[in-house]
Structure 1
Amino acid sequence: MKPTRRETLMLALGSAGLALPANTAARASSSPASDCGAPSMSWQRGIEGQRKADLGDGRFRNPALAGDRPDPNILKDGEDYYATFSSFNYYPGVPIWHSRDLVNWTPLTAALTRNIGIVWALDIAKHDGRYFIYIPALDPADKARPVKTWVIHADSMRGPWSDPIDLKFDGLIDPGHVVGEDGKRYLFFNGGNRAPLSDDGLSAAGPVTHVYDGWPIPEDWVIEGFALEGPKLLRKQGWFYMFSGQGGTAGPPTSHMVVVARSRSVHGPWENCPHNPIVRTQSVGEPWWSRGHATPVQGPKGDWWLIYHGYENGYRTLGRQMLLEPMEWSADGWPRALGGDLSRPMAKPVPASTGTSGQALSGFGADMFRPRLSYYAPRRGYLERAELKSDMLFLAGQGTGPADSSPLLFVAGDRSYEVTVEVEIQSKAQGGLLLFYNEKLFCGLGLSDGRFHAYRIGQVERWPPGGAISGRRRFLRLLNQDNVVTFFHSADGVRWTKERSFEVAGYNHNVADGFLSLRPGIFASGEGRVAFRALTYRAADASQ
């Protein structure tokens, strides 16, 4: 009898030197995992088997955009929708994605190449035919002004984007742009603060003032903290509406929420919605945790939607993923969310598909940095570290190991996946394959001349230590199976030796802070260069 995919996988994982099948990212369980009470069903599969939201029958299933898409901000521009996200320590930063239906998204570019620090929740605006992105960033090296607000601008969302301009707003995050009833431009910030902008949107035009106190959260609610942040402003039928996040963006699953206030004037006073919060995770049994930081947006047919982020139950390692929920306006002029706990498929904003969704994660190419691959905490001149020749990427060594090497990473949005790459060492360099959260929390395999090195919890694994191998060239593979990752190496890319396995569910923000995600990637450290070929990504099979 022919063995099942699961049996084949288990044999490969349990034995050294056995050939792995071409796509080993099948689930380790023969039955689908429960989706927290949701109906048992699969996602649709797109490029490289990656899960996608569009079910192909006029419905979609969250996440609208899988993987780490924190603090999503959406701009409707005619028939086009643009999304961008917090990019934190990753550069090139400020990734921009495009859609025509709010469900199928494709990448356009990464708007920020200059390292201005750790980029937090930002805001896109269009004014007088020009595009603006307002960017808060933390620069730990600047003791006098560690948190600044910057702006970049362009004639097209595709760029080219200007160099960042310092707006001289200090200590504030999460800007939200709006034009007041007086025709003047303003930025709202965390903590209920507001400041006027110049007419060109490129400088401050007055002091910061406090205008809103937030919604009073009941004392017995289990939350991370008050954390009034992420204001997104909308003007509709004589009202200014402010959608904000409260409760903390991680911590307990019931922390984050969406609250709404409105005013006849951009200057206030602001009245809280009588049925706040309009979105909140109610229990740990729901499929999506810490739902919040919403942007309201009008759909292609004139109806209304909320786009926000949330953690997938059991998969905090994937980061905060982008979620889509229908909303309506009640007779008294307040918004109401209609998606429940998002456990079930819902009707798409438009029934028909509007093109491809997602992007290929395999291979190297001229466009690999915009916005597929990104360096973690890069130093000056980071883009010059990479040289592309045909199908081979040469990466100059930096630092002494993975922690300070600024590894080159990408966003994975699947619960289970495998990544394979060929590595060849030059001079006294070390290179390898990682699952990387931050410089203190990663695991993987590194290769140097005649030896491999194993890493776990951000350290060299000593029990057992790495071993000797022949030569400077090796194929490396990782299989992340529902937060259990196994690493393999091979001399020929055909017959594989299992090295070791790690449980990585704890490699997330609630353990390590930073609001990041666990990302696969490659690294080069030491003196010399490392050549990488044949980077391949394959998602889990279509049963999940």
Structure 2
Amino acid sequence: MTTRRLFIAGAGASSFSVLSGCASTIAAPTAPRREGEITSAGLDWAHLEWRRGFEGQRRADLSDGTFLNPIFSGDRPDPSIIRDGDIYYMTFSSFDAYPGLLIWASHDLVNWRPLQAALRTPIGSVWAPDLCNHDGRYYLYIPARTPQHRSIYVIHAESIEGPWSEPIDLGLPRHIDPCHAVSEDGRRFLFLSGGDRVELSADGLSLAGAVEHVYDPWRYPEDWTVESFSPEGPKITRHGDYFYMITAVGGTAGPPTGHMVIAARARSLHGPWEDCPHNPILRTWSAREKWWSRGHATLIDGPDGGWHLVYHGYENGFWTLGRQTLLEPAEWTSDGWFNPRGGDLSRPLRKPLPHLSADHGAPLSDDFSTDRLGVQWAFYDPGANEAQRLRRGDFGLGMRGKGTNPGDCSPLAFICGDLGYEIETEIEVDDGAEAGVLLFYNRRLYAGLGFDARGLVMHRYGLQRRGAAPGGDNARRLFLRLRNDRNVVTIHHSRDGANWTRYGVQMEVSGYHHNTMGDFLSLRPAIYTAGAGEARFKRVTYRAL
């Protein structure tokens, strides 16, 4: 049997248009193997020039047969990818954002279009899900945690576009990062963090045994600069005579050189597992490189007949964007292992299908003219019926207040991946409501500007400070514009949308990220309404700088 673990499925209908492509050859990299070493081009990033998509958003496809990483800019961590015929599907950790687990589709691994969010019932903060297809049905295995409960859940659907079932609790409180795998004798398993696994029932919706330890991951030298050992993110691929297990070790964030990818193989899914002699097969070797903390990889067969690694990493200097998704070609070696072949990922690589033509991503602006929010929007840490706070009318989007400040009112936010951008909105507030625009990390850390019937309210470091009323009187309707230019934030307000006044405080937000506040999130544009009244948002406009 050849190839496919995560990727088996029947042929799927496609709504995409594909032009025929050809395979390409990429020179093997000369990757450094000592901490502190970098490639000769490791600091030469002046040549970087992404193509621009919707609203000027950066996109990987350079329209010349090459692409420039990331394939997903912005916070798209822990990618889980499958192949279904000639279509690829991928989703990511969504943490505290709901609707969650937005699924994307692609034909070339570079250009992706959103389908729908699979998870709508809040079950907690979602970490590293696993998307799989087995016997014609789709499954998502979902680690989630709240302060009171943690477990791994499963949802399932007959179609990738849903409807997806309600979550089923599998009762696995001590593990994260599940990976579905089918053994040579047809049994179903979840491989888990820490080198453990558990057998599933035939329908994949319950456990059929106890958790067992099956693998002791390879350990790096003790003098390497890492965060922690933390074996996690196992991904199983069957190719030729072997099952291959890819695991992340070294910690997820922390030092840029910590996160890494190791591999092991076995002739049977039941072991024994043999470590790859080339471990680690992937790692950031120096903080001077373009991409930090590279890890959580999946090996997948591409549309060009070649193989590729899909994984995440932080962009040098931009922890605030979260972990972004990277694509790198891989090759099988004569001894039956595989190596990455992308070399310096600050430079363009050949696309798997050089001549494919397709859009990528989705607009982030919204005029709220339809009854459904765009797929970009998600509430932070919502209640069970959070969407009932919203209503649509000729004015745009009405949002009823909740809580007392941005930290406890479940702001409505979206992921963006540009190094600089502006968002603008027009807001009208009722008595008792405070509303505005934010760069939101979590309930403890955010920045932006809001207003209520008494005047402006500035938010910085997750704290608030009241400002004067604009124009010297009580304004119930304001235009707000927030610019984030490489982590320097400037805010303007206007009474008429034509004459703008810059707010007296500018902010530097490069420290708004996981290594200062935890949670593995990103800094996201958001709108909010706190208090007892309602605010109405005429539109939200996004523009990349």
**Fold match by TM threshold 0.5:** yes
CA drift at 1:471: 2.1
Describe the shift of the 1:172–1:67 C-alpha distance in structure 2 as closer, same or farther (beyond 3 A).
Answer: same
Tell me the residue number matched to 1:101.
108
How far, CA to CA, are the matches of 1:247 and 1:96 in structure 2? 28
Does the 8 Å CA contact 1:54/1:353 hold for their aligned counterparts? Answer: no
Alignment of 1:437 onto 2:441: yes
Partner amino acid, structure 2, of 1:66: S
Following the alignment from structure 1 to structure 2, what is the Cα–Cα distance between the partners of residues 156 and 81?
Answer: 14
Deviant stretches of 4+, over 6 Å: 464-467
In the other structure, the counterpart of 2:536 is 531
Look up the equivalent residue of 2:91 and give its one-letter code.
T
CA deviation after TM superposition for structure 1 residue 461, in Å = 3.0
Q: 1:59 aligns with which of 44, 56, 66?
A: 66
**SS of the residue aligned with 2:415?**
coil
What is the aligned partner in structure 2 of residue 452 from structure 1? 456
The alpha carbon displacement at 1:354 in A equals: 3.4
* 1:273 and 2:276 are equivalent in the alignment: yes
| Cα 1:213–1:365 shift into 2, 3 Å | farther
1:367 to partner: Cα distance: 7.4
User: C-alpha separation between the residues in 2 aligned to 1:200 and 1:228?
Assistant: 28
Range moving further from structure 2, 414-423 or 353-362: 353-362
Q: Decide whether the 8 Å contact of 1:133 with 1:153 is kept in 2.
A: yes
Alpha-carbon distance between aligned partners in 2 of 1:346 and 1:391, rounded to the nearest angstrom: 46
Aligned residue in 1 for 2:481: 477
Q: 1:207 aligns with which of 207, 210, 214?
A: 210
| Deviation of 1:370 (Å) | 5.8
What SS class does the counterpart of residue 249 from structure 1 fall into? coil
SS at match of 1:151: strand
Name the amino acid aligned to 1:436: F
> One-letter code of the match for 1:411?
I
Structure 1 residue 157, shift from structure 2 partner: 1.0
Aligned to 1:520: 525
Q: Is the 8 A contact 1:175 1:189 kept in 2?
A: yes
Contact 1:299 1:349 in 2 (8 A): yes
Could you tell me how far 1:365 is from its partner in structure 2? 5.0
Quick check: 2:447–2:459 contact (8 Å CA) kept in 1?
yes
Q: Please say if residues 59 and 360 of structure 2, whose CA atoms lie closer than 8 Å, have aligned partners that are also in contact.
A: yes
Question: What is the aligned partner in structure 2 of residue 123 from structure 1?
Answer: 130
Report SS of the residue matched to 1:170.
coil
Instruction: Give the 3 Å change call, closer, same or farther, for CA 298–194 of structure 1 in structure 2.
Output: same
Indicate the SS of the match to 1:317: helix
* In structure 1, distance between residues paired with 2:241 and 2:143: 30
Instruction: Name the structure 2 match of 1:73.
Output: 80
Q: 1:466 to 1:336 in 2, by over 3 A?
A: farther
Q: Following the alignment from structure 1 to structure 2, what is the Cα–Cα distance between the partners of residues 287 and 504?
A: 20
Supply the AA of the counterpart residue of 2:108.
D
1:47 and 2:54 correspond: yes
Separation in 1, partners of 2:534, 2:374: 23
Q: Which residue in the other structure is 1:406 paired with?
A: 410
1:319 is aligned, of 309, 317, 322, to 322
**Alignment-derived partner of residue 17 in structure 1:** none
**Number of aligned pairs?**
502
Farther-moved stretch of structure 1 (428-437 vs 352-361): 352-361
CA distance in 1: counterparts of 2:86 and 2:232, whole angstroms: 29
Q: Distance in 2 between matches of 1:228 and 1:289?
A: 18
Are the counterparts in 2 of residues 281 and 341 from structure 1 also a CA contact under 8 Å?
no
* Counterpart position of 1:333: 336
Aligned positions of 1:100-499 closer than 5 A: 100-140=107-147, 142=148, 146-363=149-366, 364=368, 366=370, 369=373, 371-390=375-394, 392-461=396-465, 469-499=473-503
In the alignment, structure 2 segments of 5+ residues that lack a partner are 1-40
Contact 1:189–1:230 (Cα < 8 Å) also in 2: yes
Can you list the C-alpha shifts for 1:394-420, whole angstroms capped at 9, x where unaligned? 011000011101000000110000000
Shift of 1:422: 0.4
> How high is the TM-score relative to the length of structure 2?
0.90
Gap change, CA 1:39 and 1:481, over 3 Å in 2: closer
Q: Is the contact between residue 454 and residue 466 of structure 1 (CA under 8 Å) also seen in structure 2?
A: no
Is contact 1:81-1:99 (8 Å) kept?
yes
Contact 2:89 2:104 survives alignment (8 Å) = yes
Query: Do the aligned partners of 2:423 and 2:543 also contact (CA within 8 Å) in 1?
Result: yes
Over the matched positions of the two proteins, sequence identity in percent amounts to: 53
State the match for 1:25 in structure 2.
none
Separation in structure 2 between the aligned mates of residue 513 and residue 465 of structure 1, nearest angstrom? 33
Cα deviation for residue 211 of structure 1 reads 0.5
> Structure 1's 367 and 514: CA in aligned 2 closer, same or farther, altered over 3 A?
farther
Are the aligned partners of 1:450 and 1:472 in contact in 2 as well (CA < 8 Å)?
A: no
State whether residues 371 and 392 of structure 2, in contact with CA within 8 Å, keep that contact through their aligned partners in structure 1.
no
Contact kept in structure 1, 2:198 and 2:209, CA below 8 Å: yes
Q: What is the CA–CA distance in structure 2 between the aligned matches of 1:242 and 1:382, rounded to whole Å? A: 40
Q: Is the 8 A contact 1:110 1:369 kept in 2?
A: no
Q: Which stretch of structure 1 is more off in the superposition, 365-374 or 201-210?
A: 365-374
1:213 match: secondary structure: coil
Asked if 2 retains the 8 angstrom alpha-carbon contact of 1:101 and 1:300, the reply is yes
1:177·1:186 contact (CA, 8 Å) conserved in 2? yes
Distance 1:295 1:369 in 2: 32
Q: Does the Cα contact within 8 Å between 2:51 and 2:61 map onto a contact in 1?
A: yes
Given the superposition, is the C-alpha separation of residues 233 and 466 from structure 1 closer, same or farther in structure 2, using an over 3 Å criterion? farther
CA–CA separation in structure 1 for the residues paired with 2:308 and 2:182 = 21
Deviation at 1:38, TM superposition (A): 3.5
One-letter amino acid matched to 1:94: L
CA distance in 2, matches of 1:370, 1:529: 21
